[in-house]
Amino acid sequence: MKILIADDDALSRSLLEKTLLRAGYEVTAVADGRQAVEHLVGPDAPRLALLDWMMPEFDGPAVCREIRKRREQSYVYMILLTSRESKEDVVAGLESGADDYLVKPFIADELKARLRTGERILHLEDSLVEAREQMRFKATHDDLTSLWNRGVILDLLGRELTRSQRENVCTTIILGDLDHFKDVNDTYGHLVGDQVLREVARRLLLSVRSYDFVGRYGGEEFLTVLNNCRPDSALGRAEQIRKCICTRPVHTDAGPLEVTMSLGVLLSCDWGHRPAEELINEVDAALYAAKTEGRNRVKLAKPEERTEAIVASQTPAERLL
Q: What is the CATH number of the domain that holds 28?
A: 3.40.50.2300
Q: How far is CA 298 from the centre of its chain?
A: 30
Which run of H or of E encompasses 17? helix 10-22
How does pLDDT run across 261-309, given as a tens digit for each residue?
A: 999 999 999 998 899 999 999 999 999 999 999 999 999 999 976 645 5
Look at residues 139, 174, 195 and tell me which one is the last residue of a structural domain. Answer: 139
Q: How many CB atoms lie within 10 A of CB 294?
A: 9
Is residue 223 located within the same domain as residue 79?
Answer: no
Does residue 25 sit in the same domain as residue 170?
no
**Average pLDDT estimate for 42-53:** 89
| 310 has pLDDT over 50 | no
- Which domain covers residue 110, as residue numbers? 2-139
CATH code for position 268: 3.30.70.270
pLDDT for residue 278: 96
Q: What is the pLDDT of residue 318?
A: 47
Same domain, 169 and 298: yes
User: Are 96 and 185 in a shared domain?
Assistant: no
Helices (H), 56-189: 60-69, 87-95, 108-140, 150-167, 181-188
Identify which of 157, 298, 136 has the alpha carbon closest to the alpha carbon of residue 215: 157
Q: Are residues 65 and 207 in the same domain?
A: no
**pLDDT tens for each residue of 212-247:** 999 999 999 999 999 999 999 999 999 999 999 999
Same domain, yes or no: 232 and 277: yes
Q: Are residues 226 and 156 in the same domain?
A: yes
Q: Which of 139, 161, 185 is the last residue of a domain?
A: 139
Q: Are residues 131 and 164 in the same domain?
A: no
Q: What is the pTM of this model?
A: 0.69
State the total domains in the chain: 2
- List the catalytic residues: 220
Looking at the chain, the whole-number percentage of residues with pLDDT higher than 70 is 94
pLDDT digits (tens, 9 = 90+) for 99-130: 998 888 878 888 899 999 999 999 998 899 89
Residue 90: predicted pLDDT: 78
Residue 184, pLDDT > 70, answer yes
pLDDT, residue 308, reads 53
